Structure 1
Amino acid sequence: MRLTIYTDFSLRSLIFLGLHRDESVTIPDIAAAFDISEHHLRKVVHRLGQIGLVETTRGRNGGLRLAKNPEEISVGAVVRLMEEDFAMVQCFGDGNCRIAGVCALQGILAEAMSAWFAVLDRYTLADAIKNPKALLRRLGLPSPAAA
């Protein structure tokens, strides 16, 4: 299974916002920290806002914040909401496979995907940001205590 860049940027944005719980941040802040495209990030943040994970405020003092506590944001749920297609092989999608219905591969892969999501569902954004000082240091950002 491979996640799209869209989902990757979503998870990174949520991590960044989780590290900055007490302040508003901007899309350029996130883009600079991860060296990613602001253009793509705008689309991601817009979607995160639509699904209720990010609050956006316009204007001079505007910015982005998490709409929920990190403990309430399931990694599995984020992946499900941000990915469009989980068809790992052709028989998951349009069913245009000559051995569909007699091959056990579809069931095996479906079981594997269920197990994959079961693991993701055990974790929240809070689990991903357990070491905030090290994460901030790796991003080249000051820790909140130093700010």
Structure 2
Amino acid sequence: MHLTLHADYSLRVLLYLAARPDRLVSTQEVSEAYGISKNHLVRVMQALGKHGFVEVRPGRSGGVMLARAPSEISLGKVFRATEPDFHLAECFDREHNTCPISPACGLKGVLFEAREAFLGVLDKYTLADLTKRSRPDLLTLFFPTPSAREG
């Protein structure tokens, strides 16, 4: 299983915002912190705003910030909102399933169970849990001290 860049970047943005709850953060700042295309991040930020995870304030002095406390942002909900689909195999897509053994195959049920277990684990965690589980130096990766920037 491989997450799309959209879901990956969505989680990175949320982690970044959770590390800086005290202010608005610009798309440019996040782009520079992760080395990610600003244009791609704009779409990510819009999607996160649409689903109520972030508050987007447009304009020159605007930015983005978490729309709710990190403890209220479920990782499962973020994944469901940012992954385009969770079709692990062709047979999961009823409209485009051309697999000839689909009606008799036992694999679909196993894959469905695995997908639900994956999402179930994510449902147990929040953004706050991620920040607690991160190493203490997470902030210095985003915000290096002046001496680390010079070296």
Instruction: Give the TM-score of the pair, scaled to structure 1.
Output: 0.91
Structure 1 residues 39-82: Cα deviation after superposition (integer angstroms, max 9, x where no partner): 10000001111111111223343211100100000011000001
Computed over aligned residues only, the root mean square deviation of the Cα atoms, in angstroms, reads 1.4
The residue type equivalent to 2:137 in the other structure is: A
Q: What residue ranges of structure 2 are gaps of 5+ in the alignment?
A: 146-151
Tell me the equivalent position of 1:50: 50
Cross-structure match for 1:101: 103
Aligned equivalent of 1:15: 15
Aligned partners of 1:26 and 1:64 also within 8 Å = yes
Alpha-carbon separation, structure 2, partners of 1:54 and 1:121? 19
Q: Distance in 1 between matches of 2:144 and 2:75?
A: 24
Alpha-carbon distance in structure 2 between the residues aligned to 1:92 and 1:59 = 42
Distance 1:56 1:45 in 2: 7
Partner of 2:137, secondary structure, is: helix
Q: Are the equivalent residues in 2 in contact too, given 1:19–1:132 (CA < 8 A)?
A: no
Secondary structure of the corresponding residue to residue 56 of structure 2: strand
How far does the alpha carbon of each residue in 1:10-64 deviate from its partner, in whole angstroms, 9 at most, with x for none? Answer: 0000000111101111001111111111010000001111111111223343211
State which drifts further: 49-58 or 115-124: 49-58
SS class of match (2:102): coil
Distance in 2, Cα, partners of 1:57 & 1:83: 24
Aligned equivalents of 2:113, 2:48: Cα separation in 1: 28
Match among 101, 120, 123 for residue 125 of structure 2? 123
Runs of 5+ consecutive residues of structure 1 not aligned to the other structure: 143-147
Residue 128 of structure 1: CA displacement? 1.1
Alignment: residue pair count: 142
1:79 corresponds to which residue? 79
Q: Which residue of 2 aligns with 1:39?
A: 39
* Larger deviation, residues 128-137 vs 88-97: 128-137
Amino acid aligned to 1:35: G
Read off the aligned partner of 1:13 and give its amino acid letter.
V
Residue 33 of structure 1 aligns to a residue whose secondary structure is helix
